[in-house]
Structure 1
């Protein structure tokens, strides 16, 4: 194994912390992870690729901290996502029990081993995942590490369970099929491979509780599918939480382009596949581009959202050349008040009287009393030349509209009804603008870094659509943390152009999105 064969000793040779306070610090955790990455490379025989390292680090961090998170990984086919996870967990099975006495406050729960549940929807899929653990832990490299006097361990495998006899670490093969009886086990880590076809009820009811007493980590891996499932929902939840201050990244993606940068042979093969089956084929989108081919129940998709992004356009924080339209969706309970400003090309209506729109900016107000919100809205809108403001009159909306009419006497305030028929008209108008490409939003790299942009993207891609008689209803999914305030606010802002007659404007070149 050469000089690399002793790298795992660096982990055990680390200092013994002077106190629990020093031990439980991000610096200590990062130091352990850095050394563990060396062990992973030693165990596998090849270094992790650039797109694999963040996933491996986050899994190790979650296990060490015991933060009870669910980590999702959606990577292109044959990108090595399963190998990354197996190598990472196998290294932890060997090393964490040895680190437990050194870092008792941080890793004491691994003193009797790291217990791993290897799940998949059916036995054949579970065989693939479990087989990789067997292959990795029985390899010559693993044997060399475990024969070291400081490790002194060996594999004792039998049937559906492989165990390290001295440390107590184990990995057990199980299925998450709806008819499987799997209750009663306890794990530190649960892995669910091909999670896009896993049963949501089994994962939530039967598997998640297996991690309760250990503050364990769940890792879901897979690729996109045609329908929403637990994998898609957890990915969206992780994306939503990642946009909040202080939250760690728990979702990791790598398309075929990311993989090809690190693996040129992979890139050659995928380019050939692109020619053979077509870049826009369902198979290529699902397997390599990581595009979810969602059913008709979605308001929009990631692909459609990106198509309407103007990559040359940044957020426009002030605009006075032509009159703009504003949509306000007032907060209800835990929702946020969202104000959306849209530019309209008033000079060039099409034959049906529809105008080109550009979304300029958003104001996101949450956690503020309405008396403060009024003045924040007025101050923020002072940077724009406003033609009209559309407000959802349902709930507190009528009060908001009445107050703004007093505070902004020179602006037309439109109170939009919130009944099913009125909402349906707004949604149909917005959908037609999107279908015809008559609306766009900022897509510049600087805009994409903003919290408001990320929330807008998430809510647009989360929004579900259903038909109720002749009417369309668009709303957020019934999930924790899901909202539709940005979508409602945009629908209100664009509806104003259908409700109002064209204002008199001075012709000018539109430079705001250049």
Structure 2
């Protein structure tokens, strides 16, 4: 088969080949044709920008184009250092594809038929102002003098219409629209072949999953997430991890593109000079330098418990303990509010061997997760569950519903000490600080046996522990679930309540015994 767009130097850059038989884009030579199409679009991209894409920019541009052509509905992630040309790469790719794909659709109707009426692109960011950064680059690329010369060429013959938040290539039908991914914005109703979300680390996951990604359902569209690291997990972070895992599988394409300052410096000496000066000013190990240039996620500073920390505190030889009477245990209860669950956490305490600071080793024995039950039923379920343990003390969030629960359990369980834990920020800070101190010293352990890990209760516990976000407001520590649907922190609160009892109460008298673990 002949190579398309091979007539002249100018035709290689701008022109559209004579239409070939439809069989040209089918069969065993598909990949050769796809690579050839991408090569020609890259030539147009370079012509639009006035300079070739840099070596580290080219793989991302080619992968976006490939995904659009083969309709694999890829979720592409780009984690690049600040001012490395990330937005420029995406803007150039979108501009070149918007011009060329509809024209090539006439030559390759089977392969590119869905672009006959144009390429439709949605440009999103967490706020309208943030989306302007990428959108303005696309506008600048298509309205430059070079672009105007290309669009006016008889073989392209295109007219650009710009109206507010929409760029429209009138003759081929391509459309590029700027939109916000803010949670309060009403953005449903559009259809796109390509969606780009800039500064994706700050994007709302609910908006992304509920409102934006369905816009590509009818087109088998491509999603491109670009951004930099931060202190907390997000859909962007999770997609990066998924792409990294998938890329290790045989025959899978890489959908994650990571470019740190060292990679950029190979192609841009001025960038290297500036970043090295910033390294001297900020320090290579400063948070600012790690986030902006080294691309290190600082989850240990923005999350209560990272995945690595969670795994390190799990005992793979220990199962959930259904009954324990040999020594006193402590219990934390987080009463349900609205859509939350009531969670009861039981912890064994190594009372006989405190560390030099008076802290005890704690092991989570078991959890009780109560959902969708009225409180009268919950009271008796809690009492029945705790009857299998030698309960020394129970900690419950005071205030509101917690007061009622504590009063009722005092009547039903007179043998156990009931401690009302205040919910103001000062007292909550004490609880979180104590819990974080115990975790940092390895004095909190939970069951991680394979059979326990297979239970829904354990999986919910892990999810909530890893989702919990850590923030500091003045002298106060705040730990809470992210503000997205289906995110909860009931297990986290319940565990914190149980652990705090050993900081507030005196050690009970206990018989000497060997640890069962």
The bucket for the TM-score relative to the shorter chain is 0.5 to 0.7
Contact 1:17 1:23 (C-alpha < 8 Å) held by counterparts: no
Paired residue for 1:234? 239
Which structure's CA Rg is the greater one? 2
Which of these residues, 7, 12, 15, is aligned with residue 17 of structure 2?
Answer: 12
Contact 1:23 1:103 (C-alpha < 8 Å) held by counterparts: no
Paired residue for 1:121? 126
Inter-CA distance 289–8: structure 2 relative to 1 (3 Å threshold): same
Which digits, 9 at most, give the CA deviation of each residue in 1:349-385, with x for residues without a partner?
xxxxxxxxxxxxxxxxxxxxxxxxxxxxxxxxxxxxx
Contact 2:26 2:110 (C-alpha < 8 Å) held by counterparts: no
Q: CA deviation at 1:264?
A: 0.4
Paired residue for 1:73? 78
Distance 2:467 2:92 in 1: 41
Q: CA deviation at 1:7?
A: 3.1
Q: CA deviation at 1:5?
A: 5.1
Which digits, 9 at most, give the CA deviation of each residue in 1:306-356, with x for residues without a partner?
xxxxxxxxxxxxxxxxxxxxx997xxxxxxxxxxxxxxxxxxxxxxxxxxx
Distance 2:282 2:139 in 1: 35
Contact 1:8 1:145 (C-alpha < 8 Å) held by counterparts: no
Are 1:282 and 2:287 an aligned pair?
yes
Contact 1:36 1:91 (C-alpha < 8 Å) held by counterparts: yes
Contact 1:121 1:199 (C-alpha < 8 Å) held by counterparts: yes
Distance 1:51 1:424 in 2: 49
SS in 2 for 1:172: strand
Q: CA deviation at 1:394?
A: 7.5
Contact 1:55 1:252 (C-alpha < 8 Å) held by counterparts: yes
Are 1:207 and 2:209 an aligned pair?
no
Paired residue for 1:145? 150
Distance 1:223 1:113 in 2: 31
Structure 1 stretches of at least 4 aligned residues deviating more than 4 Å after TM superposition:
3-6, 13-17, 298-302, 391-395, 419-426, 428-433
Paired residue for 1:53? 58
Contact 2:73 2:220 (C-alpha < 8 Å) held by counterparts: yes
Aligned counterparts, 1:431-446, within 5 A? none
Paired residue for 1:293? 298
Inter-CA distance 154–420: structure 2 relative to 1 (3 Å threshold): farther
TM-score in terms of structure 1 length: 0.59
Distance 1:126 1:296 in 2: 25
Distance 1:465 1:119 in 2: 25
Which digits, 9 at most, give the CA deviation of each residue in 1:11-62, with x for residues without a partner?
6368555355338722221121122211111111111111111101100000
Paired residue for 1:255? 260
Inter-CA distance 227–95: structure 2 relative to 1 (3 Å threshold): same
Contact 2:19 2:106 (C-alpha < 8 Å) held by counterparts: no
Inter-CA distance 328–185: structure 2 relative to 1 (3 Å threshold): same
Contact 1:24 1:105 (C-alpha < 8 Å) held by counterparts: no
SS in 2 for 1:464: helix
Distance 1:167 1:126 in 2: 25
Q: CA deviation at 1:393?
A: 6.2
Paired residue for 2:193? 188
Over the residues paired in the alignment, what is the CA RMSD in angstroms?
3.8
Structure 1's unaligned 5+ residue stretches are 305-326, 330-390, 396-418, 434-461, 468-477, 480-498, 500-514
Count of residues in correspondence between the two structures: 342
Paired residue for 1:162? 167
Distance 1:27 1:63 in 2: 16
SS in 2 for 1:238: helix
Q: CA deviation at 1:150?
A: 2.2
Q: CA deviation at 1:9?
A: 3.9
Inter-CA distance 65–271: structure 2 relative to 1 (3 Å threshold): same
User: 13-22 or 105-114, which moves further after superposition?
Assistant: 13-22
Q: CA deviation at 1:126?
A: 1.4
Distance 2:214 2:233 in 1: 23
TM-score in terms of structure 2 length: 0.59
Contact 1:255 1:288 (C-alpha < 8 Å) held by counterparts: yes
Paired residue for 1:398? none
Q: CA deviation at 1:246?
A: 2.0
Aligned counterparts, 1:9-48, within 5 A? 9=14, 12=17, 16=21, 18=23, 21-22=26-27, 25-48=30-53
Contact 2:48 2:92 (C-alpha < 8 Å) held by counterparts: yes
Distance 1:250 1:42 in 2: 26
Q: CA deviation at 1:149?
A: 2.1
Aligned counterparts, 1:422-437, within 5 A? none
Contact 1:75 1:253 (C-alpha < 8 Å) held by counterparts: yes
User: 120-129 or 265-274, which moves further after superposition?
Assistant: 120-129
